[in-house]
Structures are given as C-alpha cells and as structure tokens.
Amino acid sequence: MSAHEETQRAVARWHEIVNAADLDAAREAVSDPIVVNGPKGAGPVSPAEFAEWITRSGIHLSPRSYHPVSEHVLVVEQDARWPQDGAATRVATVFRAHGGRVSAALRFPTLAEALEFAFLYRELAVTEPGTAA
C-alpha cells in the first residue's frame, strides 16, 4: 500500500471512529501526540485528550470532498454537526497521517483556507532536512 493510500485509510478510519464516538478506537487511531486546533487554540494533545474531545463535542463529520496535498497530507471538506446546532456547518480539515495514524487534524472555516495552509505546510516540510510531507 502506498503512503497516499495509507493516509486516505487513516483519515477514513478517523471519521468513522469520531462519528461512532468509539473512544477506545480513537485512542488507537491517532499518534501520541496528535496536533489539533479549535476555539482554544492549537497544539498537541494526547490520545486520551483526543478521545475526551469526541465525547465533549458530540461532533459528527460528513466528508464531502477529498483533496490530496502530499503523501501524508489530505484536506477533507466536511459538513460538521454539533448536538446543540440544528443545521450542519461546512468546514475543512487538514489531516496529516503517518504509520496508519492521524498525527494532525486542523480545522478551518473554509476549504480555501485549509488548502492554503496545507500547501504552505507541504512547502515547509519538503525543505526541512530529513523530513517528508
């Protein structure tokens, strides 16, 4: 399996686990730490903290379109729904995956913003000695 296929599978599994609120699987589906962002800022969280977020947020994410950026980076446009909201909100998430696990999930308000960030990240990563995007 190619790195690109592995990334796609890891991201698909991540969505399934989040939507099912499968906390044990959530801890196994992400790296330690996983880099996330949200209303409180961005940074690394542990797999246990990631699983706790699933419970606390109650989010459900429906993927709408997929945009590969590199072997390990994939942008997914999604409809996000929280229990307290009636209608879904369109968002986009930049995912990074390695070794079959999601190592970053960074949500943006628009697909354009997510793609801009992802392509910038890719350019930074390929110029970092010893690093591949």
Which domains, and CATH codes, for the chain?
3-127 (3.10.450.50)
41-45, strands of its sheet edge to edge = 41-45, 30-38, 101-108, 89-98, 73-81, 60-68
pLDDT tens for residues 70-117? Answer: 999 999 999 999 998 889 999 999 999 999 999 999 999 999 999 999
Give how far the C-alpha of residue 115 lies from the chain's centroid of Cα atoms, to the nearest Å.
13
Tens digits of per-residue pLDDT, 14-61? 999 999 999 999 999 999 999 999 777 899 999 999 999 999 999 999
Q: What is the pTM of this model?
A: 0.91
Name 35's bridge partners.
Answer: 44, 104
